[in-house]
Amino acid sequence: IKDFRGPDFFVVLNVDGERVRQGWVVWEESGRYPDVTIELMSSSTAQIDTGIKKQIYGEIFRTPDYFVYHPFDPNSLKGWRLQHGKGYQELERNERGWLWSESLGLWLGNWSGTINKVTTTWLRFYAPEGNLVLLPRELEKQRADAAQQQADLEKQRADAAQQRAEYLAAKLRELGENPDL
């Protein structure tokens, strides 16, 4: 529907995450609007995303943090923070070109890599200290890799202990002792 003005991506904080929803319906959620909205722009939507949608999110939704990003233009990231009585104020990028989301307590910035076999520059979240916030699949792989490293380390330790035991047994035999007793 061409009149639809819903966000591409949004976050609503402090809600029941266990409740099954088919969508977010404000009047079924005690009037809660998003705390953070991100619009993925295209050449045909950029004017709407930075115009009427920005106005709706600021004046009607009162969304504290609003970001826009064109996936094919890594330098297009812009963001605004709603200031009481002043409307949206544009955010300044840090030295990495990232923008701070006060609502989320996270940075939003570019990341080059592969997700689902697609290698490109992606818009990703970063922790306050600058570490990439991993996607569930990335976190699962990281945990599996760490478990495998731990298993490899324990095998190396067991092999080293076995080699030491064999060495000591051989030395005892050289001295005429029976190591099996």
Report the C-alpha gap between 157 and 139 in whole angstroms. Answer: 27
pLDDT of residue 3: 62
* pLDDT number for residue 74: 85
pLDDT values of the chain reduced to their tens digit, one per residue, 181 residues = 566 667 899 999 999 889 999 888 999 999 999 999 999 999 999 999 999 999 999 999 999 999 999 999 989 999 999 998 899 999 999 999 999 999 999 999 999 999 999 999 999 999 999 999 999 999 998 888 888 888 889 999 988 999 998 899 888 888 888 877 6
What per-residue confidence (pLDDT) applies to 147? 85
Residue with tokens 């699949």: 137
Q: What are phi and psi of 65, to 5 degrees?
A: -120, 125
Cα separation, 114 vs 157, in Å, equals 35
The pLDDT of residue 85:
86
Q: What pLDDT score was predicted for residue 120?
A: 92
pLDDT at residue number 80: 98
Structure tokens at 78: 């812009």
- C-alpha 48/C-alpha 76 separation (Å) is 15
